[in-house]
Structure 1
Amino acid sequence: MLAGTAVLVTGAAVALAAAGGQGTAGPKGDGTAVTPVGYKVTPAGHQVQLGNLPLNAVLSPDRSMLLVSNAGQGTQSLQVVDPADSEVVQTLSYPSPQAVFTGLAFSPDGKRAYASGGGREIIHTYDVSGGRLTETAPVKLPTKNPDGKAVNMYPAGIAVTPDGKRLVVADRLADAATVVTLADGSTQTVAVGHAPYAVALAENGRTAFVTNQGGDTVSVLDIGGDKPEVRSAVKVGTHPNAVVAGPGQDTLYVADGDSDEVSVIDVPTRKVTRTLSLAPYRNAPVGSNPDALALSEDGRQLYVANAGNNDIAVIDLKRGRTAGLIPTAWYPTAVVPLDGKLYVTNAKGLGAGPNNGPGHPDPTSTAPQSPDQYSGSMMKGTLSAIPLDGGDRQLRRWTRTVVANNGFDEGNSPRAVGAVVPRRVGERTPIKHVIYVVKENRTYDQEFGSLKKGNGDASLNLFGDESAPNARALQRRFVTLDNFYADAEVSAQGWNWTVAANSNPYSEQGWPANYSGRNHSYPSENGDPAIAPNRDPDHAYLWQRLDDKGVSFRNYGFYVNADASGQAVAEDPVLNAGTDHGFGPYNLSCPDSAGTFPARSKTCGSPRIEEWKKEFTQYEKDGNLPAFEMVRLPNDHTSGTRAGMPTPQAYVADNDWALGQLVDAVSHSPFWKSTAIFVTEDDAQNGPDHVDAHRTISQVISPYTQTGRVDSTFYSTASMVRTIELLLGLRPMTQFDAYATPMVNSFTARPDDTPYDAVKPTTDLTAVNTVNSPMAGVSARQDLTKEDQIDERTFNEAIWKSVRGAKSVMPAPRHDLYGAVPDDQAAELEDDD
Structure 2
Amino acid sequence: MKKVKVSKKLIATTLATLLLGSSTAFAAYNVVAGPQANGTGVTPLGWTVTPAGKQLSLGEKPFGGVVSPDHQYLIVSNDGVGPQSLQVVDIKQEKVVQTISYNSPESLYIGVAFSPDGKKLYASAGDNQKIRVYNFDNGTLTEQSPILMKDQNNTNFYPTGVTVSPDGKFLYVANNMNKSVSQIDLSSGQISATIPVGKDPYMVLVSHDGNSLYVTNWGESSVSVLDIKSLTVKKTISVGLHPNALAENPVNGLVYAANSDSDEISVVDSQSQQVVQTISLAPYRNAPTGSTPDALAVSQDGKTLYVANAGNNDIAVVDLGDGATRTEATVKGLIPTAWYPTGVYLSGDGKLMVLNAKGLGAGPNPKHTFNLWTPESQYIGSLVKGTMSFIDLPDNQQLKEYTRQVEDNNKVYKAEGEGWFSKLNGNNDFPIPQYADQHSPIKHVIYVVKENRTYDQVFGDMGKGNGDPNLTLFGKDVTPNLHKLANQFVLLDNFYSNGEVSDNGHEWVTAAQSNDHMEKGWPIDYSFSRKSQLDPEAINTKEGRIWANANRSGVSFRDYGEYINWWSSYDKTKGRTPDDPSIGNNFDPNYAGWDINTSDLTRYNEWENEFKQFDQNGNLPQLETVYLPDDHTAFTAPGKRTPQAYVATNDYALGKLVDTVSHSKYWKDTAIVVVEDDPQDGPDHVSASRTEALVISPYTQTGKVDSTLYSQVSMVRTVEMILGMKPMTQFDAAAIPMLNAFTNHPNFKSYSVEQPKYPLDQLNGQPAPAPAATQSSQASDDFSKPDTGSADSHNRELWKGIKGDQPYPESKN
| Pair in the same fold by TM > 0.5 | yes
Judge conservation of contact 2:265–2:279 (CA < 8 Å) in 1. Answer: yes
The residue that corresponds to 1:155 in the other structure is 159
The residue that corresponds to 1:231 in the other structure is 234
Judge conservation of contact 2:28–2:706 (CA < 8 Å) in 1. Answer: no
- For 1:82 and 1:772, the matched residues in 2 are separated by 58
Aligned partner (choices 553, 570, 573) of residue 578 of structure 2: 570
The residue that corresponds to 2:122 in the other structure is 114
The residue that corresponds to 1:788 in the other structure is none
Aligned partner (choices 334, 345, 348) of residue 336 of structure 1: 345
Aligned partner (choices 714, 722, 735) of residue 719 of structure 1: 714
What secondary structure sits across from 2:144 in the alignment?
A: strand
The 3 A distance-change label for structure 1 pair 391 and 406 is same
- For 1:710 and 1:805, the matched residues in 2 are separated by 37
Aligned partner (choices 473, 485, 499) of residue 484 of structure 2: 473
Judge conservation of contact 1:480–1:709 (CA < 8 Å) in 2. Answer: yes
Find out whether 1:437 has 2:448 as its counterpart.
yes
The residue that corresponds to 2:54 in the other structure is 46
The 3 A distance-change label for structure 1 pair 348 and 800 is farther
Find out whether 1:297 has 2:300 as its counterpart.
yes
Aligned partner (choices 204, 222, 245) of residue 242 of structure 1: 245
The residue that corresponds to 1:552 in the other structure is 556
CA drift at 1:347: 0.4
Find out whether 1:99 has 2:102 as its counterpart.
no
CA drift at 1:232: 1.7
Aligned partner (choices 47, 52, 56) of residue 64 of structure 2: 56
The amino acid that maps onto 1:191 is P
Find out whether 1:282 has 2:282 as its counterpart.
no
- For 2:635 and 2:369, the matched residues in 1 are separated by 20
What secondary structure sits across from 2:763 in the alignment?
A: coil
The 3 A distance-change label for structure 1 pair 36 and 183 is same
- For 1:208 and 1:271, the matched residues in 2 are separated by 15
The residue that corresponds to 1:786 in the other structure is none
The residue that corresponds to 1:216 in the other structure is 221
- Structure 1 residues 667-712: Cα deviation after superposition (integer angstroms, max 9, x where no partner): 0000000100000100000411010000001100000000001111
The amino acid that maps onto 2:287 is A
- Structure 1 residues 515-548: Cα deviation after superposition (integer angstroms, max 9, x where no partner): 1135443648xxx3210122xxxx4111011112
The 3 A distance-change label for structure 1 pair 282 and 622 is same
CA drift at 1:208: 0.5
Judge conservation of contact 2:3–2:283 (CA < 8 Å) in 1. Answer: yes
The 3 A distance-change label for structure 1 pair 240 and 813 is farther
The 3 A distance-change label for structure 1 pair 387 and 20 is farther
Aligned partner (choices 374, 379, 400) of residue 374 of structure 1: 379
- Structure 1 residues 154-195: Cα deviation after superposition (integer angstroms, max 9, x where no partner): 111111000000011111111111111111122111211111
The residue that corresponds to 1:193 in the other structure is 198
Aligned partner (choices 383, 388, 396) of residue 388 of structure 2: 383
The amino acid that maps onto 2:764 is N
Judge conservation of contact 2:471–2:780 (CA < 8 Å) in 1. Answer: no
The amino acid that maps onto 1:720 is M
CA drift at 1:804: 9.2
Aligned partner (choices 389, 396, 405) of residue 392 of structure 1: 396
Find out whether 1:463 has 2:466 as its counterpart.
no
CA drift at 1:572: 3.1
The 3 A distance-change label for structure 1 pair 60 and 401 is same
What secondary structure sits across from 2:508 in the alignment?
A: helix
Aligned partner (choices 478, 500, 504) of residue 493 of structure 1: 504
Find out whether 1:760 has 2:763 as its counterpart.
no
- For 2:375 and 2:452, the matched residues in 1 are separated by 20
- For 1:770 and 1:426, the matched residues in 2 are separated by 58
Q: Note the residue ranges of structure 2 that are not aligned, 5 or more in a row.
A: 19-25, 322-327, 769-778, 796-813
Judge conservation of contact 2:305–2:319 (CA < 8 Å) in 1. Answer: yes
The amino acid that maps onto 2:492 is L
Aligned partner (choices 21, 31, 37) of residue 29 of structure 1: 37
- For 2:219 and 2:462, the matched residues in 1 are separated by 45
The amino acid that maps onto 1:234 is I
Aligned partner (choices 765, 773, 789) of residue 770 of structure 1: 765
- For 2:440 and 2:537, the matched residues in 1 are separated by 34
- For 1:384 and 1:801, the matched residues in 2 are separated by 45
CA drift at 1:811: 3.7
- For 2:625 and 2:704, the matched residues in 1 are separated by 26
Find out whether 1:180 has 2:184 as its counterpart.
yes
The 3 A distance-change label for structure 1 pair 404 and 326 is same
The amino acid that maps onto 1:326 is I
The amino acid that maps onto 2:745 is R
Find out whether 1:353 has 2:363 as its counterpart.
yes
- For 1:577 and 1:465, the matched residues in 2 are separated by 39
The 3 A distance-change label for structure 1 pair 22 and 424 is farther
Aligned partner (choices 510, 514, 523) of residue 525 of structure 2: 514
The 3 A distance-change label for structure 1 pair 262 and 806 is closer
The 3 A distance-change label for structure 1 pair 252 and 236 is same
CA drift at 1:396: 0.7
The residue that corresponds to 2:457 in the other structure is 446
Find out whether 1:132 has 2:140 as its counterpart.
yes
- For 1:742 and 1:163, the matched residues in 2 are separated by 57
Judge conservation of contact 2:6–2:734 (CA < 8 Å) in 1. Answer: no
What secondary structure sits across from 1:462 in the alignment?
A: coil
| TM-score normalized with structure 1 length | 0.86
Q: Which moved more, 1:459-468 or 1:284-293?
A: 459-468
Judge conservation of contact 1:177–1:191 (CA < 8 Å) in 2. Answer: yes
The 3 A distance-change label for structure 1 pair 646 and 743 is same
Judge conservation of contact 2:268–2:275 (CA < 8 Å) in 1. Answer: yes
The amino acid that maps onto 1:387 is D
Q: Which moved more, 1:697-706 or 1:184-193?
A: 184-193
The 3 A distance-change label for structure 1 pair 690 and 243 is same
How do residues 525-544 of structure 1 correspond to structure 2 at under 5 angstroms? 528-534=536-542, 539-544=543-548
The amino acid that maps onto 1:124 is R
The residue that corresponds to 1:672 in the other structure is 667
The 3 A distance-change label for structure 1 pair 63 and 630 is same
Q: Which moved more, 1:571-580 or 1:551-560?
A: 571-580
CA drift at 1:514: 1.4
Judge conservation of contact 2:205–2:214 (CA < 8 Å) in 1. Answer: yes
Find out whether 1:325 has 2:330 as its counterpart.
no
- For 1:369 and 1:582, the matched residues in 2 are separated by 43
CA drift at 1:806: 6.2
The 3 A distance-change label for structure 1 pair 288 and 371 is farther
The 3 A distance-change label for structure 1 pair 372 and 172 is farther
Aligned partner (choices 466, 478, 503) of residue 514 of structure 2: 503
Aligned partner (choices 417, 425, 445) of residue 436 of structure 2: 425
The amino acid that maps onto 1:155 is P
What secondary structure sits across from 2:145 in the alignment?
A: strand
Aligned length: 754
How do residues 772-787 of structure 1 correspond to structure 2 at under 5 angstroms? none
- Structure 1 residues 487-512: Cα deviation after superposition (integer angstroms, max 9, x where no partner): 01101100010110000110111111
The residue that corresponds to 2:783 in the other structure is 802
Judge conservation of contact 2:492–2:705 (CA < 8 Å) in 1. Answer: yes
The 3 A distance-change label for structure 1 pair 373 and 251 is same
Find out whether 1:582 has 2:585 as its counterpart.
no
What secondary structure sits across from 1:683 in the alignment?
A: coil
The 3 A distance-change label for structure 1 pair 76 and 727 is same
- For 1:588 and 1:204, the matched residues in 2 are separated by 56
Judge conservation of contact 1:479–1:705 (CA < 8 Å) in 2. Answer: yes
- For 1:736 and 1:19, the matched residues in 2 are separated by 22
- For 1:767 and 1:112, the matched residues in 2 are separated by 58
CA drift at 1:298: 2.3
- For 2:479 and 2:31, the matched residues in 1 are separated by 28
- For 1:570 and 1:367, the matched residues in 2 are separated by 33
| TM-score normalized with structure 2 length | 0.89
What secondary structure sits across from 1:721 in the alignment?
A: helix
